[in-house]
Amino acid sequence: MKFMQLSKSMARDQSQTEIENKIREMEKIEERLVVFSVDVLDYHSILVALKGCSALFCCLDSSDGYDDKIVDLEVRGAINVVEACAQTESIEKIVFTSCLTAAIWRENICAEKDVDERSWSDQEFCRKLKLWYALAKTLSEQAAWALAMDRMVNMVSINAGLVLGPGVTQQNSRSTLSYLQGAAQMYENGVLAFVDVNFLVDVHIRAFEDRSTCGRYFCFNQIVNTEEEAIKLAQSLSPLISLPARYECQGSEVFAERLRTKKLNKLVEGTAC
């Protein structure tokens, strides 16, 4: 088993260094685990790391936050990863980690009744609002899909909600804050959702092991559509997000849930497509 640390030629913050140290400790304990440090902008380093692998679980995320330059780097990284898989005979499937933000943002966000795996965020709308995280996830996933189909590479994507779990937000604080850009609008339109990291991992494994998986899969545990749930989410993200010490729930409005997980439910039940 190989673990590739995907970087984008940038300085790592302290939380990223802590994650890498934990991975190195895992390598010492588990003899079958081999760790590679791979720059996703270095195509040949990816090829070397992929040699002999049957699958790639690909998660491109910047620990430095997101801006227009990071968007371009993430797209280039996605292209390199998929092309390297296409040139590696042993690769059977790519499980590409994407995000719900690659599907929900558009000018008429409040007009659509349902948002499912057929939906894509509007690139120009993301640029207009400077939703760089959403734009990066949209363009990198689209680039990965275009190349995977052209090279006939077996790929599925997992479009995750905001990832929560022990230590997750502390170790990925900038990604978490980037995801939450426009959180109020997501909340009011019934598309703010989160997923437990352990459930997300399980879905990735299922997506690889189930030969019938195809296309995109929305992955989340709950949609945040009441003020009470929004407060609980904010509290779970503390100290990254802070609330007034004596904040009390004021409203009882329930926003309509618009995200659909029909495909995810089938995957969990064992009938993926």
* Helix (H), strand (E), coil (C) string for the chain: CEEEEEECCCCCCHHHHHHHHHHHHHHHHCCCCEEEEEECCCHHHHHHHHCCCCEEEEECCCCCCCCHHHHHHHHHHHHHHHHHHHCCCCCCEEEEEEECHHHHCCCCCCCCCCECCCCCCCHHHHHHCCCHHHHHHHHHHHHHHHHHHHCCCCEEEEEECEEECCCHHHHCHHHHHHHCCCHHHHHHCCCCEEEEHHHHHHHHHHHHHCCCCCEEEEECCEECCEHHHHHHHHHHCCCCCCCCCCCCCCCCCECCCCECCHHHHHHHHCCCC
137 catalytic? Reply is yes
- Which one of 137, 232, 262, 263 is the catalytic residue? 137
Rounded distance between C-alpha atoms, residue 19 and residue 99, angstroms: 21
Q: Which residues are catalytic?
A: 137
